[in-house]
Chains A and B, each alone.
Chain A
Amino acid sequence: MERHLDQELADLNKLLLKMGTLVETAIFESIEALKELNAERALKVVSDDKVIDELENSIDECCLDLLALQQPMAVDLRFITMSMNIATDLERIADLAVDIAQRVLDLTGKPLLKPLIDIPKLAGFAKQMSKDALDAFVNKDADLAASLILRDNEVDKLRNLVQKELIEDYMLKDSSTVTRAVPLLLIARHLERICDHATNIAEDVIYMVEAKVVKHHPKTE
């Protein structure tokens, strides 16, 4: 039996997809702005964030109405509550893209401290994990979500590597590098946090699909 609720759930799904697409663009653009040290591109990431914030509010309102008016159960209930979580994570990812863009603005006009090698690798993780998290949500693919969670350790290692290199090879040796090193340090941190939020989304997807709680567990099966 086709339910009226199904249409409303499909509408919610569409809103999340729209938000996800905009968030992916924000990550991509902030990273491109970094590669090019392009202030114009960075500023656009900052100004475009408003639309994503508004979408988060719309999704929250939509979920609240569905919870209050439809009394969803089981898979419907999990989908709606996880949608609220996912919208929050997507919005935080977009904020981190804005943070990266702002660090890019700090860096423009100065020569880069060093050629970027590990940060683009981290950026690659951030882009791919966010994309996979969204794909896992759209396709209700718990396997993809689980594989994504496993990548998070690699990201942490890479971030530590960037941090160690910037501190030990530059900041400690020559304090005049600090103003150019700190933004890079922060960017590595922002990228790592994006991966954390993508991991949160993946955990929510597993709960949504399989009703299995994998949050705060050291390893997934």
Chain B
Amino acid sequence: MDNEVKMQAKNVDFFYGKTQALKNVSLDVYTHKVTAMIGPSGCGKSTFIRLFNRMNELVPHTSLCGKIFLDDLEINSPLVDAVDIRRRVGMVFQKPNPFPKTIFENISYGLKVNGIKDKLFIQQKVEDSLKKAVIWNEVKDRLNDSALKLSGGQQQRLCIARCLAVETEVILFDEPCASLDPISTAKIEELILELKKDYSIVIVTHNMQQAARVSDYTGFFLLGELVEFGKTADIFTKPQDSKTEAYITGRFG
């Protein structure tokens, strides 16, 4: 695996109160690759992905041991600003969550919050981001309409565009297609494959087939442990661990 490491988890334990959700997980996320996390409900995969942009610290009574790096930066170090981490490591959730604002404002908001005032720059950035998220042609004539009028699939691509506008480096997808129909799902999957040329991507999915289709690397989680991690083609054709084999062939449990 001679890839450049973009993010790295080192010996991570994570607790909700006294319940241990992650046990000594170490994993590398490679630059310009799609890394998928699969595993049954409650295995810790969503908890794990949320560590990459410090979303878990918003949950009370949680604690973390171990280290997480973005490039060489240890993201939980007291000197690091969580907001800056969340700009560099964007997140797209299961349910599309556009702001109750116009399509344009959804994208420009992040830029304005980051202190950018140049209107021409903002306009250009909005257009570029919407184009990259392959939604521009569908919304270019109604940028001032409410984002809530868009379909679920369009809202999800708008949320992706919102990440792209603020020059994110890593995009975390937490079940991005769980609430979408098959056509919208296919569009998001194609988009993920396009985006990996410029970004590093981590995706959590219940849909094993989706992990197989879009990812370069796959990690299988079970009961808070990373059971197996490797190239997706290897995981799905010749897994090394019998637990991984049982899960991906549906013999689990």
Contact = CB atoms under 8 A, between A and B. Distances in A.
Contacts of A74: none
A68 B233 contact: yes
Nearest to B183: A1
Interface in A47-71: 64-65, 68-71
A4 B212 contact: no
A7 B19 CA distance: 46
A29 to B, nearest CB: 35
A3 interface: yes
Contacts of A4: 189-190, 193
A69 B190 contact: no
Chain B interface, DSSP helix/strand/loop, else mixed: helix
B233 A1 contact: no
Nearest to B210: A71
B237 interface: yes
A71 B209 contact: yes
B193 A69 contact: no
Contacts of B212: 68-71
B15 interface: no
Interface in A66-119: 68-71
Nearest to A5: B213
A65 B237 CA distance: 7
B186 interface: yes
B207 to A, nearest CB: 10
A65 B213 CA distance: 10
Nearest to B194: A4
Interface residues of A, number: 9
Contacts of B186: 1, 3
Contacts of A64: 237
A4 B187 CA distance: 11
A70 B213 contact: yes
B213 A1 contact: no
A154 B209 CA distance: 48
A71 B210 CA distance: 9
Nearest to A70: B213
Interface bracket on B: 10 to 19
Interface string A15-51: 0000000000000000000000000000000000000
Nearest to A71: B209
Nearest to B236: A68
A1 B190 contact: yes
Interface string B183-218: 000110110010000000000000001001100000
Contacts of A71: 209, 212-213
Contacts of B237: 64-65, 68
Contacts of A69: 212-213, 232-233, 236
A58 to B, nearest CB: 13
Contacts of A1: 186-187, 190
B182 to A, nearest CB: 11
A72 to B, nearest CB: 10
Most buried by B among A64, A68, A70: A68
Contacts of A3: 186, 190
A69 B233 CA distance: 7
Interface in B124-154: none
Interface string B207-247: 00100110000000000000000001100110000000000
A64 B237 CA distance: 8
Contacts of B233: 65, 68-69
A70 B213 CA distance: 5
A3 B190 CA distance: 7
B177 to A, nearest CB: 14
B246 to A, nearest CB: 16
Name the residue among A4, A70, A71 with the largest chain B CB count within 10 angstroms.
A4
Contacts of B232: 69
Nearest to B192: A4
A64 B213 CA distance: 13
Given A68-B236, A68-B237, 10 more contacts: A4-B189, A64-B237, A68-B212, A68-B233, A69-B212, A69-B233, A69-B236, A70-B212, A70-B213, A71-B212
Q: Which 7 A-B pairs give the minimum distances between C-beta atoms?
A: A69-B212, A68-B236, A4-B193, A65-B233, A68-B237, A71-B209, A64-B237
15 contacts: A3-B186, A3-B190, A4-B193, A64-B237, A65-B233, A65-B237, A68-B212, A68-B233, A68-B236, A68-B237, A69-B232, A70-B213, A71-B209, A71-B212, A71-B213
